[in-house]
Amino acid sequence: MKTYAYTENQGVRVEHEYELDGKTVRSVSFVPADPTNADYAEILDLLKLPEGDPKKPKIAPYVAPAKPPVVNHYSKSRLFSAMTDAEYDQYEVVEAKQPKRERGIFRHATEVSSDDPLYPKFVSLVMGLYGETRGKELLALALMV
């Protein structure tokens, strides 16, 4: 059995599924849109067959690959540079109350990434200390582009 996910501009994704030694085997290949490629030409010919022809492959809708999530990085030196002395004093008081391991991580890290498990705590600390408006301002200034 073959399933073709067809897109004219990029090519054809071909999904093969067959039985081998009693087991179902699946493979996926991609045939680039190149008229000089014999495989691509053969697939286009098959796609032109009339509906109901047993040789015509099943067409699956093209599904674009998922985009990886955006990971933001926040510079701690930029964050601290943007704070007033009073704001930094507030930060130190709250940081001192955190568990020892987390204090070590936050103290020694030069940046905080949005995919880090401690990121939500970092953001809530900044937002909780300085309020939503100032917290967003500080995070925007610390964002590494």
User: Can you give the residue ranges of every domain in the chain?
Assistant: 2-60, 73-144
Query: Is the confidence at residue 17, as pLDDT, over 80?
Result: no
Q: Which residues contact 99 (CB under 8 A, 6 or more apart)?
A: none
Q: Place 3 in a pLDDT band, splitting at 50, 70 and 90.
A: low
- pLDDT band at residue 31 using 50, 70 and 90 as cut-offs: confident
Higher per-residue pLDDT: 111 or 30: 111
Note if the pTM is more than 0.75. Answer: no
Confidence of residue 104 (pLDDT cuts 50, 70, 90): very high
Question: Residue 132 above 70 pLDDT?
Answer: yes
| Res. 9 pLDDT band, cuts 50 70 90 | low
| Residue 78: how many other CB atoms lie within 10 Å | 17
Nearest to 2 by CA among 11, 12, 10: 12
Lowest mean pLDDT among 10-14, 36-40, 70-74, 90-94: 10-14
**Distance, CA of 98 to CA of 144 (rounded, Å):** 25
Q: Please compute Rg for the chain using Cα positions.
A: 27
User: Cβ distance 14 to 62 under 8 Å?
Assistant: no
pLDDT value at 1 more than 60:
no
Give the pLDDT score at 7: 61
